Structure formats: C-alpha cells, structure tokens
C-alpha cells in the first residue's frame, strides 16, 4: 500500500499514488540560512521511522529527512486538525489507496482534507538526506514515509508552545502555485538551494520537476505523462519531487537541480480518481539549469 500524498505520474507500471522518530537538533544552518532551535530530524532506517514524540517550540523549524534505506522513499509532513487522531487520518488515507469497507472509504476529498494540513515533503534517494522548514504550531503531526510497494510508514509527534515562535528563513528563491498555473524562473544555477514554496490556490498542489533527455521537449513530456497505454518513450532521466501542499500553506524546501533542460509540472490531486489526472500546458513550464 502507498500514500496518496505523492505524484505517481512518473512511476508508470507501479502502484504508487500521490500524498519518521525525531532527534532534537541545536541551532541548524540550512545551506547558509539560519533557523532557530529546536529542529527535527526524521530518519528512515530498517523499514521504520525513528525519533522522539515531543518537539518543544513553535514557528518555522528546520526538518531533516534522512533515508538510510536501500531504495528511494518519499517523506511527507501532515499537521492534523484539532480533534483528528493519527489513527483516524491513517485509516482515511489507507481507504483512498485500496478497497476498504471502513467508514473512511466514504470520505469525500473535502472531508479528507479537513482532517489535516498537508505540509509538503520530498523524495529522498537511498542513503541521502534532504531538508525543509515548516511552520510548526501547537498540535499533533504525522510524518508519512512512502517506499513504494511496501506498507506506508507513519510516525506521530506533538509540538508544544513557545514564547517566541521562530521566524521564517530568508531565502533567495520562491515559487507560488495557483490552481492551474505557477511562476518559476526560466533559468537557474545548478546545485542545492532552499526555496520558499507557497500554495495560493483553492486546492492542494503537487509539483514534480523533470530533467529531459537530450533531444526531448516539453511536449514530449506532456505526451508521455498523458499516455494511458504506457507505450510512449520516457523523455526524462531525473526528477525532483514535492509532495502535496494544502491551500494557504507555505514551506521552505531544499531543491537540488543538476545542469540541463528541465520541465516543472504542477498537479492538482483528485482523491476521487487518483489515476484520472491529465497534464495540460498551463500546468507545465520549461526552464534551463546552467
């Protein structure tokens, strides 16, 4: 079973769909941008997520996603709504990805989204790590770790209050999503950089960035993603993936772009039909990394 918090359009032939314990860190520098302590480190190891269950301090806190497994996994962060229990969210999410006789299987998309705010996340390759920052407010949170065909892993933790919530980091790059379009720079410098990522639309958003193979175009990618026969030639070599971000949310995530021709694609998830998503031109934007 897999999490419905991630994009599965780049994984044809797999069962993946869209939507770890933590150790407190001292003051942490994320690629030159200071964030107040405490931070959070979510580690996936031996098929499970490990870390403490209590985080002291509100505001924008640094979060490290560490993958010590042998395959790529996707980390996602969820802030549960007041009154929503972790088991309730997990049951509802499970019902979206498989046949279920539970009451959760009758939830509509708006009802599911009322269970919590989806705060994004990142795909992390084997034995690698990635960083983000999110606005941690008092309440209960889930880390969701999706490793493909294996069962989805969950870890809940609570955030307690603080007298001075940490401010958002200052970063050089920003991208804002609306329902069917977004603004992204035409050219970038290769390397790891932290980005401000905001969803100003009325629906949750997922974004995936594809590095094209030589000779391939944006149109080739759109045709491949919309090919229900799975016979089109794969036009990309590498992806950078962001998991679902609820409307009105802003997070800060480290994106690593290598040199080449890329295409950014914005997806609006449809929980009622996870496989029906189509890519249109207003959801894509080509850019070059030097």
Q: What is the per-residue pLDDT across 84-141, written as a single tens digit (0 to 9) for each?
A: 999 988 888 887 766 545 555 556 666 777 889 999 888 899 999 888 889 888 999 9
Closest of 129, 184, 145 to residue 46, by C-alpha: 145
Q: Which residue has the higher pLDDT, 135 or 9?
A: 135
Q: Which residue has the higher pLDDT, 23 or 186?
A: 186
From residue 275, alpha-carbon distances to 7, 9, 151, 228, 272 in Å are 10, 8, 20, 10, 9
Give yes or no for residue 267 having a pLDDT over 70: yes
The mean per-residue pLDDT over the stretch 28-34 comes to 36
Give yes or no for residue 281 having a pLDDT over 60: no
Residues 108 and 204 in one domain: no
Return the number of other C-beta atoms located less than 10 Å from residue 151's C-beta: 12
**CATH of residue 216:** 2.60.40.420
pLDDT given at position 271: 54
Residue ending a domain, among 99, 128, 160, is 160
* Tens-place pLDDT, residues 159-189: 887 767 788 888 888 888 887 677 788 899 9
**Domain residue limits at 255:** 173-289
Residues 112 and 62 in one domain: yes
Is 168 a domain residue? no
pLDDT given at position 36: 38
* CA of residue 265 relative to chain centroid, distance: 14
Is 266 a domain residue? yes
Return the number of other C-beta atoms located less than 10 Å from residue 188's C-beta: 17
pLDDT given at position 38: 54
What does pTM read for this prediction? 0.77
Is 166 a domain residue? no
* Tens-place pLDDT, residues 38-88: 567 889 988 888 877 787 778 888 888 999 999 999 999 999 999 999 998
Residue ending a domain, among 130, 160, 190, is 160
Residues 264 and 177 in one domain: yes
From residue 58, alpha-carbon distances to 137, 158, 240, 246, 286 in Å are 5, 11, 28, 19, 37
Give yes or no for residue 149 having a pLDDT over 80: no
Q: Which residue has the higher pLDDT, 165 or 193?
A: 193
Residues 92 and 33 in one domain: yes
Local confidence band at 16 (pLDDT 50, 70, 90 cut-offs)? very low
Residue ending a domain, among 111, 126, 160, is 160
Give yes or no for residue 274 having a pLDDT over 70: no
Residue 142 · residue 166 · CB < 8 Å: no
pLDDT given at position 272: 54
* Tens-place pLDDT, residues 199-219: 888 888 888 899 999 999 999
Residues 96 and 179 in one domain: no
Q: Which residue has the higher pLDDT, 22 or 186?
A: 186
């Amino acid at each position: 079973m897999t999490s419905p918090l991630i994009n599965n359009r780049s994984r044809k032939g797999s069962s993946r769909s869209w939507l770890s314990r933590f150790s407190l860190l001292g003051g942490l520098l994320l690629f030159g941008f200071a964030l107040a302590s405490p931070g959070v480190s979510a580690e996936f190891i031996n098929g499970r997520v490990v870390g403490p269950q209590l985080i002291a301090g509100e505001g924008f806190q640094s979060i490290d996603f560490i993958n010590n497994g042998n395959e790529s996994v996707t980390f996602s962060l969820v802030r549960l709504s007041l009154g929503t229990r972790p088991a309730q969210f997990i049951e509802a999410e499970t019902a979206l990805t498989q046949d279920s006789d539970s009451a959760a299987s009758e939830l509509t998309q708006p009802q599911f989204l009322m269970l919590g705010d989806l705060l994004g996340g990142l795909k992390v390759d084997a034995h690698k790590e990635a960083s983000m920052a999110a606005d941690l407010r008092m309440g209960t949170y889930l880390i969701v770790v999706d490793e493909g065909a294996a069962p989805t892993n969950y870890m809940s933790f609570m955030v307690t209050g603080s007298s001075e919530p940490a401010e958002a980091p200052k970063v050089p790059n920003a991208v804002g999503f609306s329902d069917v379009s977004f603004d992204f720079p035409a050219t970038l410098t290769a390397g790891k950089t932290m980005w401000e990522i905001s969803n100003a639309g009325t629906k949750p958003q997922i974004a995936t960035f594809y590095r094209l193979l030589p000779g391939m175009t944006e149109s080739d990618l759109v045709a491949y993603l919309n090919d229900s026969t799975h016979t089109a030639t794969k036009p990309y070599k590498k992806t950078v993936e962001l998991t679902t971000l609820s409307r009105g949310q802003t997070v800060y995530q480290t994106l690593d772009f290598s040199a080449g021709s890329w295409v950014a694609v914005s997806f609006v998830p449809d929980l009622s039909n996870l496989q029906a998503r189509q890519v249109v031109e207003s959801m894509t934007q080509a850019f070059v990394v030097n």
